[in-house]
Chains A and B, each alone.
Chain A
């Protein structure tokens, strides 16, 4: 199975400041069409996960543009340009290249 490793696991951020989360996969997530099959999800406290980013850099419908995804192959980054209070929760990356889908351990973002 592909192993997904996120860092940091805890991320305290001051509102208005940027934030960045890294995700690395144990093997390339590039599919034969050239896209990296990597998603980012946010699980807010007490809620179901919600899709933020698919194919490494595509924002899902309704996701604010302060969220951006980048990277390809095995190294990926989720960036929040200016953190808001509503962004607290646990962020997960997930490889969608092959079964079984594997999630990273999660990064808990909290407000300072």
Chain B
């Protein structure tokens, strides 16, 4: 059974960098069949896709977050991470990591949904 678990500080000060880690169990983060995603949800609001990272380090992120987003993969720990810089109160949310199940075969991207999600971690930005 594949499980994802978010970890990191629950409180971050304004202007600082939010750093979260997602630990993957039951699947290898080096698999060429998966991307690894981050999604967030402010209280009482909908879902916002932050971005995703591939084992190669290739990142796609939401332009709405401008250049504040960085992601990485640690294959030795089977983890991937999110860094969001210059945070403000607007970044207060529940952050989810998820497995994005899909792969390129030739020039086609075969996709099977974001099929495994972590339980989420609440991050508050406040001084």
Give A residues with C-beta under 8 Å from B. Answer: 1, 31-33, 35, 37, 39, 41, 43, 48-51, 53-55, 58, 60-61, 92, 94, 96, 99-106
Question: Quick check: A92 and B46 within 8 Å, CB to CB?
Answer: yes
Give 10 nearest A-B pairs by CB, closest first.
Answer: A54-B113, A101-B49, A100-B62, A48-B117, A99-B60, A103-B47, A51-B113, A51-B115, A33-B108, A106-B46
A-B contact count (CB 8 A): 69
- 10 chain-A/chain-B pairs, Cβ below 8 angstroms: A1-B63, A32-B107, A35-B111, A48-B118, A48-B119, A55-B113, A61-B115, A99-B60, A100-B51, A106-B47
Contact status A31-B49, CB under 8 Å? no
Any A CB within 8 A of the CB of B76: no
Contact B118 A103 (CB under 8 A): no
Q: Is the CB of B96 within 8 A of A31?
A: no
Count class of interface residues, chain B: 20 to 34
CB <8 Å contact, A100 and B64: yes
Contact status B113-A60, CB under 8 Å: yes
Within 8 A of A (CB), among B24-49: 37, 39, 46-49
Known: A37-B111, A54-B113, A60-B113. A49 touches B48 (CB 8 A): no
Residue on A with the closest CB to B117?
A: A48
When distances are taken between beta carbons in the complex, the residues of chain B under 8 Å from A99 are 51-52, 60-62
